[in-house]
Amino acid sequence: MSRIVFVNGEYLPEEDATISIFDRGFVMADAVYEVVSVLDGKLIDMEGHQARLGRSLEALGIGNPMSDDDYLSMFRELVSRNEMRDGMIYLQVTRGNPGDRDFTYPPADTPQTVVAFTQSKPGLAENPAAQTGWSVITVPDQRWGRRDIKTTQLLYPSMAKMMAKEAGADDAWLVEYGKITEGTSNNAYIVKGDTIITRELSHDILHGITRAAVLRLAREAQMNVEERGFTAEEAASADEAFVTSASAFVMPVVQIDGAQIGEGKPGRIATRLREIYLDEMRKTAV
Ligand code: PMP
Protein backbone atom coordinates (compact mmCIF):
# COMPACT_ATOMS: atom_id res chain seq x y z
CA MET A 1 0.00 0.00 0.00
CA SER A 2 1.46 3.37 -0.94
CA ARG A 3 1.18 6.11 1.64
CA ILE A 4 -1.61 8.65 1.48
CA VAL A 5 -0.12 12.10 1.99
CA PHE A 6 -1.61 15.58 2.34
CA VAL A 7 -0.79 18.36 -0.13
CA ASN A 8 -2.63 21.68 -0.05
CA GLY A 9 -6.00 20.36 1.02
CA GLU A 10 -5.88 17.06 -0.88
CA TYR A 11 -5.20 13.51 0.23
CA LEU A 12 -3.16 11.76 -2.47
CA PRO A 13 -1.10 8.60 -2.98
CA GLU A 14 2.52 9.64 -2.38
CA GLU A 15 3.48 9.06 -6.03
CA ASP A 16 0.87 11.61 -7.16
CA ALA A 17 1.91 14.31 -4.67
CA THR A 18 3.73 17.24 -6.28
CA ILE A 19 4.69 20.84 -5.53
CA SER A 20 6.11 23.51 -7.85
CA ILE A 21 9.85 23.80 -8.58
CA PHE A 22 9.41 27.50 -7.71
CA ASP A 23 8.09 26.77 -4.24
CA ARG A 24 9.98 28.92 -1.70
CA GLY A 25 10.42 25.86 0.47
CA PHE A 26 12.34 24.16 -2.34
CA VAL A 27 14.51 27.04 -3.63
CA MET A 28 15.03 29.04 -0.39
CA ALA A 29 14.33 26.64 2.51
CA ASP A 30 11.67 29.27 3.27
CA ALA A 31 9.63 26.84 5.30
CA VAL A 32 8.94 25.58 8.79
CA TYR A 33 8.07 22.12 9.98
CA GLU A 34 6.87 20.05 12.91
CA VAL A 35 7.19 16.38 13.78
CA VAL A 36 4.47 14.91 15.98
CA SER A 37 4.68 11.39 17.37
CA VAL A 38 1.82 8.93 17.19
CA LEU A 39 1.42 6.19 19.79
CA ASP A 40 -1.47 3.70 19.60
CA GLY A 41 -2.98 5.81 16.83
CA LYS A 42 -3.04 8.97 18.97
CA LEU A 43 -1.17 12.26 18.66
CA ILE A 44 1.39 13.14 21.32
CA ASP A 45 1.51 16.73 22.68
CA MET A 46 -0.36 18.10 19.66
CA GLU A 47 -1.08 21.37 21.46
CA GLY A 48 2.60 22.09 22.05
CA HIS A 49 3.52 21.41 18.44
CA GLN A 50 0.69 23.59 17.12
CA ALA A 51 1.74 26.44 19.38
CA ARG A 52 5.36 26.23 18.17
CA LEU A 53 4.24 26.02 14.53
CA GLY A 54 2.37 29.29 15.08
CA ARG A 55 5.46 30.89 16.65
CA SER A 56 7.78 29.75 13.83
CA LEU A 57 5.42 31.04 11.14
CA GLU A 58 4.94 34.33 12.94
CA ALA A 59 8.70 34.86 13.37
CA LEU A 60 9.11 34.55 9.59
CA GLY A 61 5.99 36.53 8.67
CA ILE A 62 4.38 33.53 6.98
CA GLY A 63 0.61 33.35 7.38
CA ASN A 64 -0.83 30.24 9.00
CA PRO A 65 -3.11 28.76 6.33
CA MET A 66 -4.96 26.36 8.64
CA SER A 67 -6.58 26.49 12.07
CA ASP A 68 -5.58 24.24 14.98
CA ASP A 69 -8.78 22.26 14.40
CA ASP A 70 -7.92 21.84 10.70
CA TYR A 71 -4.46 20.47 11.56
CA LEU A 72 -5.90 18.14 14.16
CA SER A 73 -8.49 16.65 11.81
CA MET A 74 -5.96 16.44 8.96
CA PHE A 75 -3.45 14.58 11.18
CA ARG A 76 -6.17 12.21 12.38
CA GLU A 77 -7.23 11.61 8.79
CA LEU A 78 -3.64 10.73 7.81
CA VAL A 79 -3.29 8.34 10.77
CA SER A 80 -6.56 6.68 9.86
CA ARG A 81 -6.05 6.48 6.07
CA ASN A 82 -2.57 5.00 6.59
CA GLU A 83 -3.73 2.74 9.44
CA MET A 84 -0.75 3.91 11.48
CA ARG A 85 -0.43 2.77 15.11
CA ASP A 86 3.02 4.07 16.02
CA GLY A 87 5.18 6.56 14.16
CA MET A 88 5.41 10.22 13.29
CA ILE A 89 3.61 12.84 11.26
CA TYR A 90 5.82 15.30 9.41
CA LEU A 91 4.22 18.65 8.59
CA GLN A 92 5.79 21.40 6.49
CA VAL A 93 4.43 24.86 5.70
CA THR A 94 6.23 27.00 3.13
CA ARG A 95 5.83 30.60 2.01
CA GLY A 96 4.33 29.18 -1.17
CA ASN A 97 4.95 29.39 -4.89
CA PRO A 98 5.61 32.89 -6.31
CA GLY A 99 5.84 31.44 -9.85
CA ASP A 100 9.53 32.36 -10.21
CA ARG A 101 12.71 32.65 -8.14
CA ASP A 102 13.26 35.95 -6.36
CA PHE A 103 14.90 36.93 -3.06
CA THR A 104 12.09 39.25 -2.05
CA TYR A 105 9.06 37.65 -0.48
CA PRO A 106 6.03 37.18 -2.71
CA PRO A 107 2.85 39.19 -1.94
CA ALA A 108 1.32 38.25 1.41
CA ASP A 109 -1.74 36.76 -0.32
CA THR A 110 0.38 34.07 -2.03
CA PRO A 111 -1.10 30.80 -0.77
CA GLN A 112 1.23 28.89 1.56
CA THR A 113 2.12 25.31 0.68
CA VAL A 114 1.12 22.69 3.27
CA VAL A 115 2.48 19.17 3.04
CA ALA A 116 2.14 16.37 5.58
CA PHE A 117 2.96 12.67 5.62
CA THR A 118 3.13 9.74 8.02
CA GLN A 119 6.25 7.72 8.89
CA SER A 120 5.25 4.41 10.40
CA LYS A 121 7.58 3.14 13.18
CA PRO A 122 6.04 0.12 14.85
CA GLY A 123 7.12 -0.08 18.49
CA LEU A 124 8.42 3.52 18.48
CA ALA A 125 8.24 3.77 22.28
CA GLU A 126 10.02 0.42 22.75
CA ASN A 127 13.15 1.49 20.86
CA PRO A 128 15.88 -0.95 22.03
CA ALA A 129 18.41 1.93 21.91
CA ALA A 130 16.81 3.26 25.11
CA GLN A 131 18.15 0.16 26.92
CA THR A 132 21.76 0.71 25.86
CA GLY A 133 21.92 4.49 25.29
CA TRP A 134 23.47 6.59 22.56
CA SER A 135 27.05 7.62 21.99
CA VAL A 136 27.65 11.18 20.80
CA ILE A 137 30.56 13.14 19.39
CA THR A 138 30.95 16.92 19.61
CA VAL A 139 31.25 19.11 16.50
CA PRO A 140 31.23 22.89 16.03
CA ASP A 141 27.77 24.44 15.80
CA GLN A 142 27.75 26.11 12.39
CA ARG A 143 24.02 26.76 12.06
CA TRP A 144 22.35 30.16 11.64
CA GLY A 145 21.45 32.48 14.52
CA ARG A 146 17.70 31.79 14.87
CA ARG A 147 17.64 28.14 15.85
CA ASP A 148 14.48 28.79 17.86
CA ILE A 149 12.57 28.96 14.56
CA LYS A 150 11.96 25.44 13.31
CA THR A 151 12.96 25.96 9.68
CA THR A 152 13.77 23.29 7.11
CA GLN A 153 17.39 24.52 6.83
CA LEU A 154 18.67 21.15 7.96
CA LEU A 155 21.84 20.79 5.90
CA TYR A 156 24.28 21.43 8.75
CA PRO A 157 22.44 19.13 11.20
CA SER A 158 22.51 16.51 8.41
CA MET A 159 26.26 17.01 7.95
CA ALA A 160 26.80 16.70 11.70
CA LYS A 161 24.73 13.50 11.78
CA MET A 162 26.94 12.11 8.98
CA MET A 163 30.09 13.07 10.94
CA ALA A 164 28.66 11.12 13.88
CA LYS A 165 27.88 8.15 11.67
CA GLU A 166 31.38 8.16 10.19
CA ALA A 167 32.81 8.23 13.73
CA GLY A 168 30.63 5.26 14.69
CA ALA A 169 28.48 7.39 17.03
CA ASP A 170 24.70 7.80 17.21
CA ASP A 171 24.53 11.58 17.15
CA ALA A 172 26.52 14.80 17.37
CA TRP A 173 26.27 17.45 20.08
CA LEU A 174 26.90 20.93 18.69
CA VAL A 175 29.33 23.25 20.45
CA GLU A 176 29.45 27.05 20.33
CA TYR A 177 31.78 29.27 22.42
CA GLY A 178 32.82 26.19 24.37
CA LYS A 179 29.31 25.15 25.41
CA ILE A 180 26.96 22.51 24.04
CA THR A 181 23.95 24.05 22.34
CA GLU A 182 21.96 20.89 21.52
CA GLY A 183 22.02 17.68 19.47
CA THR A 184 21.46 17.55 15.70
CA SER A 185 17.73 17.04 16.25
CA ASN A 186 17.25 16.96 20.01
CA ASN A 187 17.89 18.92 23.20
CA ALA A 188 20.86 17.87 25.35
CA TYR A 189 21.04 17.31 29.13
CA ILE A 190 23.46 16.13 31.77
CA VAL A 191 22.73 14.99 35.31
CA LYS A 192 25.03 15.76 38.26
CA GLY A 193 23.92 14.20 41.50
CA ASP A 194 20.19 14.85 41.56
CA THR A 195 20.30 17.91 39.32
CA ILE A 196 19.25 17.92 35.67
CA ILE A 197 21.20 20.50 33.66
CA THR A 198 20.16 21.75 30.22
CA ARG A 199 20.88 24.91 28.28
CA GLU A 200 18.54 27.83 28.87
CA LEU A 201 16.10 28.91 26.15
CA SER A 202 17.29 31.60 23.70
CA HIS A 203 17.68 32.05 19.94
CA ASP A 204 20.56 29.54 20.14
CA ILE A 205 18.47 26.39 20.48
CA LEU A 206 15.16 24.98 19.38
CA HIS A 207 12.60 25.25 22.15
CA GLY A 208 11.84 21.55 22.24
CA ILE A 209 8.27 20.58 22.94
CA THR A 210 9.57 17.42 24.61
CA ARG A 211 12.02 19.56 26.63
CA ALA A 212 9.16 21.67 27.98
CA ALA A 213 7.13 18.59 28.98
CA VAL A 214 10.10 16.72 30.49
CA LEU A 215 11.23 19.71 32.58
CA ARG A 216 7.68 20.28 33.80
CA LEU A 217 7.33 16.61 34.77
CA ALA A 218 10.79 16.59 36.41
CA ARG A 219 9.86 19.60 38.55
CA GLU A 220 6.51 18.02 39.45
CA ALA A 221 8.46 14.94 40.58
CA GLN A 222 10.56 17.22 42.87
CA MET A 223 13.71 16.84 40.78
CA ASN A 224 16.16 19.76 40.58
CA VAL A 225 16.46 21.49 37.23
CA GLU A 226 19.18 23.97 36.32
CA GLU A 227 18.85 25.75 32.98
CA ARG A 228 22.38 26.71 31.94
CA GLY A 229 24.99 25.84 29.37
CA PHE A 230 27.57 23.11 30.00
CA THR A 231 30.81 22.03 28.34
CA ALA A 232 31.76 18.70 26.76
CA GLU A 233 34.23 18.20 29.66
CA GLU A 234 31.45 18.69 32.18
CA ALA A 235 29.33 16.18 30.25
CA ALA A 236 32.17 13.63 30.22
CA SER A 237 32.39 13.80 34.01
CA ALA A 238 28.61 13.92 34.62
CA ASP A 239 26.70 11.09 36.29
CA GLU A 240 24.26 10.76 33.38
CA ALA A 241 23.31 12.37 30.11
CA PHE A 242 20.32 12.20 27.80
CA VAL A 243 18.56 13.91 24.92
CA THR A 244 14.90 14.63 24.26
CA SER A 245 12.88 14.95 21.07
CA ALA A 246 9.37 14.22 19.86
CA SER A 247 10.46 10.96 18.22
CA ALA A 248 13.25 9.76 20.57
CA PHE A 249 11.31 10.86 23.71
CA VAL A 250 13.96 10.67 26.47
CA MET A 251 17.04 8.87 25.14
CA PRO A 252 19.97 8.13 27.47
CA VAL A 253 23.46 9.13 26.29
CA VAL A 254 26.29 6.97 27.66
CA GLN A 255 29.38 8.15 25.79
CA ILE A 256 30.74 11.50 24.59
CA ASP A 257 33.76 11.77 22.29
CA GLY A 258 34.73 8.21 23.26
CA ALA A 259 34.59 8.88 27.03
CA GLN A 260 32.15 6.88 29.12
CA ILE A 261 29.53 8.93 30.99
CA GLY A 262 28.73 7.71 34.51
CA GLU A 263 28.60 3.93 34.48
CA GLY A 264 28.37 3.77 30.70
CA LYS A 265 24.75 2.63 30.80
CA PRO A 266 21.39 4.46 30.94
CA GLY A 267 21.18 6.33 34.22
CA ARG A 268 18.50 6.19 36.90
CA ILE A 269 17.12 9.68 36.27
CA ALA A 270 17.03 9.40 32.46
CA THR A 271 15.29 6.04 32.71
CA ARG A 272 12.74 7.38 35.20
CA LEU A 273 12.07 10.50 33.13
CA ARG A 274 11.50 8.37 30.03
CA GLU A 275 8.88 6.34 31.91
CA ILE A 276 7.17 9.37 33.43
CA TYR A 277 7.16 11.18 30.09
CA LEU A 278 5.75 8.26 28.09
CA ASP A 279 3.08 7.56 30.74
CA GLU A 280 1.92 11.15 30.83
CA MET A 281 1.99 11.56 27.04
CA ARG A 282 -0.02 8.39 26.44
CA LYS A 283 -2.60 9.70 28.93
CA THR A 284 -2.92 13.09 27.27
CA ALA A 285 -2.66 11.91 23.62
CA VAL A 286 -5.49 13.02 21.34
N1 PMP B 1 16.61 20.66 18.79
C2 PMP B 1 16.65 20.51 17.46
C3 PMP B 1 17.73 21.18 16.69
C4 PMP B 1 15.68 19.71 16.81
O5 PMP B 1 15.70 19.56 15.49
C6 PMP B 1 14.70 19.05 17.59
C7 PMP B 1 13.68 18.15 16.96
N8 PMP B 1 12.92 18.76 16.00
C9 PMP B 1 14.70 19.26 18.98
C10 PMP B 1 15.68 20.06 19.54
C11 PMP B 1 13.67 18.61 19.86
O12 PMP B 1 12.44 19.26 19.71
P13 PMP B 1 11.07 18.51 20.00
O14 PMP B 1 11.17 18.00 21.40
O15 PMP B 1 10.05 19.54 19.85
O16 PMP B 1 10.99 17.39 19.00
Report pLDDT digits (tens) over 5-45.
999 999 999 999 999 999 999 999 999 999 999 999 999 99
CA distance 108 to 61: 9
Question: Which are the contacts of 60, defined by CB distance < 8 A and separation ≥ 6?
Answer: 30, 32, 95, 149, 151
What residue owns the CA closest to ligand 1's atom 4? 185
CA distance 104 to 93: 18
Ligand 1 shell residues, CB under 6 Å: 35, 182, 185-187, 206, 208-211, 244-246
What residue owns the CA closest to ligand 1's atom 2? 185
Domain ranges in the chain are 4-122, 129-284
**243: CA distance to ligand 1 center in Å?**
10
Name the residue among 261, 251, 209 with its Cα closest to residue 230: 261
Report pLDDT digits (tens) over 230-248.
999 999 999 999 999 999 9
Residue 1 pLDDT: 63
What's the CATH fold of domain 129-284? D-amino Acid Aminotransferase; Chain A, domain 2 (3.20.10)
**Same topology between domain 4-122 and domain 129-284:** no
CA distance 279 to 277: 5
What's the average pLDDT block by block, 10 residues per block, for the chain (286 residues)? 94 98 98 98 98 98 97 98 98 98 96 98 96 98 98 98 98 98 98 97 98 98 98 98 98 98 97 98 97
Question: Which are the contacts of 206, defined by CB distance < 8 A and separation ≥ 6?
Answer: 147, 148, 150, 182, 187
CA distance 141 to 243: 17
CB atoms within 10 A of CB 182: 26
What's the CATH fold of domain 4-122? D-amino Acid Aminotransferase; Chain A, domain 1 (3.30.470)
Q: Which of 152, 159, 211, 245 to mutate to test the pocket of ligand 1 (most atoms within 8 A of CB)?
A: 245
**28: CA distance to ligand 1 center in Å?**
21
| SS3 of residue 273 by DSSP | helix
Please report how many Cα atoms fall inside a 13 Å half-sphere around the Cα of residue 233, on the Cβ side: 1
What residue owns the CA closest to ligand 1's atom 12? 208
Q: Catalogue the active-site residues.
A: 150
